[in-house]
Amino acid sequence: MTLRSAAPVSFDALPNPRGGAVRPAELALAEALLAFEQHTGCTTALVRAAHALRSAGWLSATRFADVLVRLSPLAAGDPAEAESVRPGFGAALRDFRAALERHNLRELACSPTLFNHYRVLCAELGEHTAASPVAFEDLALTARPVPPVSFHVQPAEQLAHLRARYERALLPVLRSQPDSGSMAARAATEAALDELDAVFTELSGPDPYDFWRLAKACARALRVSGRAAGEPDARRFYARCNLALAEHARGIERAQRSLVRATLALLWRDYALFGAAAEDADQVEVLHDYGLTVDWHVAGTQASEMLWEAGAVEAQSFSARTSLTRELGVLSVNAHAYEDFLQTADAAIAALADHARAADQPEKADPGEALQAGDAAYRLGSAACALGLGHVALLADALGLAWRRRAHGGVSTPAVRAHVIVDAPAASALEQAAEALRATLHKVAAGVAPPASSAALAALTRAIEQGGA
């Protein structure tokens, strides 16, 4: 049987030439696409793909594959029923296969192209089952812990004044259309966005986990990307912030979890896909406070990016031809990238162990030390993400978030502690997670596929979201 190459597709993020490949999933998707085009059953091949992706810890991709599995019987079923399902199913399968072969885990989580397919697939499924509506953050933040977020207590008169200002500025933003309207209309929209930004600034409190700080960072990211005016996701964000402001005015202490997740995913989206520049440092700092990392990039031209992408494809091809790979279960990794990762991991895990031991001595607690520990975990998480070690990346990022929570909520200034509504993770939770991470990395160093750290991640998630533990 000849498996044809994936159809060309345009994605925004660059491919990852040194990233690991889940070859069993790639082959299974190629087989599934061929079966689909020949009007035969593709469910079995899709099940194999989903299983391989789950084993590799590519959890956002697994979620996408799972909905393909569930919809595949309808796409190959009764011709009258399949006719409405097949176009969307086929487009999603082709683009998913193409995205998977780019080996970019952040793109698989945050790609608007893939999410649009995912939403269509789930809508089709919902017409035949009791499927729930889906949101972008469902795919982007799969299995990631999200800390509780508060509203900074402010006088009622001030909140009423700020809400009135917000609502006046909100209307022209909701009415705006992307790349349309007169120059005067665009200027009015920009002025309204400036006013909304000013309100976010005045609402923000000292707690790093204050919702308005997160909202301000998200609004800034939307404006930098040019998506703040007219984009449906942006309009939804600004409208939901208006509802959050009403809750704040009623004395509610915490922001709704669904709103926090939606805002966080929207903030992360473009930085996850395109990377961040020096001027994005404030937004990246907010992302780090929530357990999310990005790559830094040097600004270049479109031509230079095209040249880089061509080089990435050539590097991938060379690696495949020369067999410079290591096999870690279902994951095939570039041998040089694997050795580089092990060096990064050794240094990071040693630093994390030292910081965890020090954290058990409250009299020596130091916010700076906790931030350094979080940064060490994030370096490890980013390196694991680049290599394709999904389980390692997820646990390392969660540990980085736990250390950030400790830096801000457990050993920070009295002014900040006065506004924290959930205690920071206990030192024991940090130490246990670091030990679980160390054990996982020992397997990677031995050339063994790292297992899912489900128990360790669950315990760390509880400590982050509920405090203590």
pLDDT value of residue 184: 77
Per-residue model confidence (pLDDT) at position 316: 53
Among the candidates 140, 166, 187, a domain finishes at 140
What's the angle, vertex CA 104, arms to CA 143 and CA 321, rounded to 5?
Answer: 135
- Spans of the chain, pLDDT less than 50: 1-10, 299-301, 304, 308, 321-322, 411-412
Cβ contacts of 95-99, under 8 Å, gap ≥ 24: 95/9, 96/29, 96/61, 96/64, 96/65, 96/68, 97/6, 97/26, 97/29, 97/30, 97/33, 98/6, 98/7, 98/8, 98/9, 98/11, 99/9, 99/11
- pLDDT on residue 423: 78
Residue at a domain's end among 244, 268, 289: 289
Q: What is the pLDDT of residue 298?
A: 52
Query: What's CA 122's distance to the chain center, in Å?
Result: 20
pLDDT at 220: 96
* Shared-domain flag, residues 127 and 228: no
Instruction: Choose among 406, 468, 404, 399: nearest CA to 434.
Output: 399
Total number of domains constituting the chain: 3
On whether both 167 and 260 belong to a single domain, the answer is: yes
- Rounded to 5 degrees, what angle do the CA atoms 122, 386, 284 make? 80
Same domain, 262 and 214: yes
Cβ–Cβ under 8 Å, residues 295 and 275: yes
Q: What is the pLDDT of residue 1?
A: 34
Same domain, yes or no: 253 and 341: no
pTM for this prediction: 0.90
**Residue partners of 138: CB distance under 8 A and separation at least 6:** 63
Q: What share of the chain is helix, strand, coil (3-state, %, to 5)?
A: 70, 5, 25
Each residue's pLDDT tens digit, 195-207: 999 999 999 998 9
Q: How far apart are CA 54 and CA 72, in angstroms?
A: 19
Domain for residue 312, yes or no? no
- Whether 283 and 355 map to the same domain: the answer is no
Indicate the length of the chain as a whole number.
469
Which residue, 140, 168, 198, sits at the end of a domain? 140
Position 53 scores a pLDDT of 98
Q: Are 133 and 261 in a shared domain?
A: no
Please say whether the beta carbons of 407 and 416 come within 8 A.
Answer: no
CA-nearest of 313, 309, 339 to 324 is 339
Let me know if residue 313 belongs to a domain. no
pLDDT of residue 14: 79
What pLDDT shows up at residue 373? 92
Domain that holds residue 387: 321-466
- Mark whether 271 and 364 lie in a shared domain: no
The pLDDT of residue 301 is 47
pLDDT of residue 359: 66
Give kind and range of the element (H or E) at residue 333: strand 331-334
Identity of the amino acid at 327? E
List, for residues 134-152, the tens digit of each pLDDT value.
999 999 999 999 999 999 8
